[in-house]
Structure 1
Amino acid sequence: MTTSSSETKDPRYPIGSFQRPDIVTNDDVQYAIFTLGNLPTNLTNATKGLDSGQLDTPYRDGGWTVRQLVHHIADSHMNAFCRIRFALTEKDPVIKPYDENLWAMLHDSAAPIHWSLTLLEGLHARWVMLSQSLTEAQLQRSFLHPVNGPTTIEMATLIYAWHSRHHVAHITHLRKRMDW
């Protein structure tokens, strides 16, 4: 899960793009679970003290606002958690994709961010509890995305740990640029 230095200059990918490892170790999975467990606190800290105008500032040119970004994380991680649960209870389920850009434009994306922060706290507590209970065989269960193909629970765990760090970095980098 390395990143290249050229990628880090791209404001879309402040920590670099996700790099799918050839081999996933138990340490990789445990670190990803740890990262998922820390997302609610890290996101709360990244947004602490921001006023309404700051929350409605795009994190980059052409990007979502901080408020939309927080709600996107909740939307995305709810979908991911359900996908993992489907993979644990069905054989290779085909999951329903969604247009995250259209979701970010729905009216509830103007809601107070504490709604999504509270949701993420409970969601991630359950996600970590479930993840810590999984056997190696369960981590290899998969779901099928109609466009992206099959994804194991193990890989989804790594992807969403990266996703957590990726979006928190969008906010922390914006705060540094704007000197907030």
Structure 2
Amino acid sequence: MDNRYPIGQFDCPNEEKEKDIQMWIKEISTLPSRLSVLTASLDELKLTKTYRENSWNVRQLIHHIVDSHLNGYMRMKSALTEENPVVKTYEESEWAKLTDYEMPVKVSLQLLESLHERWTYLLENLTATQLQRTYQYPDGGKMRIEQNIALYAWHGNHHFVHIQQALNN
């Protein structure tokens, strides 16, 4: 197993089914509570554990999940309110070097809980037409909102398993 991609690399679906979309929304909605349970009793030493050599540590992973999901939420809102907007990318590895990544993880877990509560509400109320709306990356790649839902469900699960691996090392 490749511990960089413990659940496999993201495979962008082309034909989403309603049951898949509902499953992905459920995964997004439960991520904050799953992370809170997983990290509830972590001390400083455990927060510095990594899942492989030269990888982000548990603290960085938690802060990264929030940064990424904030960006995902904003991309989705842009796609819902603009016609195929070009979304901004960001330098994840550079963000991980900023001082806010030294903060207690509870700050990010609280933000993630609020963000996902709001995001889930939005997702559960999207119409079939809204699910088809798109945004575009600067390199020209296009993504539908329904694919965005799959991506962020995968992303949360991907890093959740990284945190599990780090804690088991």
Question: How many percent identity over aligned positions?
Answer: 44
SS at 2:86 equivalent: coil
Match of 2:4 in 1: 12
* Distance in 2, Cα, partners of 1:166 & 1:148: 25
Give 1:147 deviation, angstroms: 2.5
1:80 aligns with 2:78: no
| CA offset digits 1:118-157 (Å, max 9, x no partner) | 0000000000000011011100101111126111110000
Match of 1:99 in 2: 91
1:141 aligns with 2:160: no
Match of 1:132 in 2: 124
Match of 2:144 in 1: 152
Q: Which has the higher contact order (CA 8 A, sep 6+)?
A: 2
* Distance in 2, Cα, partners of 1:21 & 1:48: 34
Q: 2:49 is aligned with what amino acid?
A: T
1:90 aligns with 2:82: yes
Give unpaired runs (5+ residues) of structure 2: none
Stretch deviating more after TM superposition (87-96 or 18-27):
18-27
* Distance in 1, Cα, partners of 2:119 & 2:139: 25
SS at 1:101 equivalent: helix
Give 1:103 deviation, angstroms: 0.4
Cα RMSD over matched residues? 1.0
SS at 2:96 equivalent: helix
5 Å-filtered alignment, 1:51-62, equals: 51-62=43-54
* Distance in 1, Cα, partners of 2:88 & 2:13: 25
* Distance in 1, Cα, partners of 2:12 & 2:72: 17
* Distance in 2, Cα, partners of 1:148 & 1:175: 38
| CA offset digits 1:26-84 (Å, max 9, x no partner) | 01100000000000011112212111111012222111011010000000000000110
Give 1:21 deviation, angstroms: 2.5
Q: 1:14 is aligned with what amino acid?
A: P
SS at 1:151 equivalent: strand
SS at 1:105 equivalent: coil
Match of 1:172 in 2: 164
* Distance in 2, Cα, partners of 1:134 & 1:162: 20
Give unpaired runs (5+ residues) of structure 1: 1-8
Stretch deviating more after TM superposition (59-68 or 143-152):
143-152
Q: TM-score, normalised by structure 2?
A: 0.96
| CA offset digits 1:6-43 (Å, max 9, x no partner) | xxx11111111112223210011000000000000111
Q: TM-score, normalised by structure 1?
A: 0.91
Match of 1:5 in 2: none
Match of 1:112 in 2: 104
